[in-house]
């Protein structure tokens, strides 16, 4: 874990995600290539997830920006993963990212959350 992300920025990421998906937000984790910090965990969940494993896998998203560049699909924006018990939304820049886990939400909720999170990560 890291204290790399400033409290104010962490609060902005949490607020943006909670605004978009509300009480459906399960967790929010900030990560870089080397470190991570779980910013939010809903109170009814236990801290037993293998976050390091998730971060190792989700850091693949750093390369997505260049891997898909120039494709007919357009620029890479975000990734949604579907699981039996929920969803994972990953948003990255080339150097940092966040992933949020949620209960059932709409694709529009994911798009709003991804847009808000990307805006904060990119410092726009």
pLDDT of 78 over the 50 cut: yes
Q: Average pLDDT of the chain?
A: 87
pLDDT for the residue numbered 4:
60
Mean pLDDT within 103-121: 88
**Are the CB atoms for 38 and 51 separated by under 8 Å?**
yes
Rg for the chain (alpha carbons), in Å?
14
**Residues 29, 26: Cα–Cα separation, whole Å:** 10
pLDDT for the residue numbered 101:
94
pLDDT for the residue numbered 3:
52
Q: pLDDT tens across 50-68, in order?
A: 788 888 888 877 888 788 8
């Amino acid at each position: 874990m890291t204290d790399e992300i400033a409290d104010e920025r962490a609060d902005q990421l949490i607020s943006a995600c909670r605004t978009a998906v509300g009480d459906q937000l399960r967790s929010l984790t900030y990560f870089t290539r080397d470190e991570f910090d779980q910013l939010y965990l809903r109170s009814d969940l236990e801290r037993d997830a293998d976050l390091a494993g998730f971060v190792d896998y989700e850091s693949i998203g750093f390369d997505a920006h260049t891997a898909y560049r120039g494709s007919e699909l357009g620029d890479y924006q975000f990734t949604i993963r579907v699981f039996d018990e929920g969803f994972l939304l990953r948003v990255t820049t080339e150097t940092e990212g966040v992933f949020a886990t949620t209960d059932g939400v709409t694709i529009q909720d994911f798009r709003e959350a991804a847009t808000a999170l990307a805006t904060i990560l990119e410092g726009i």
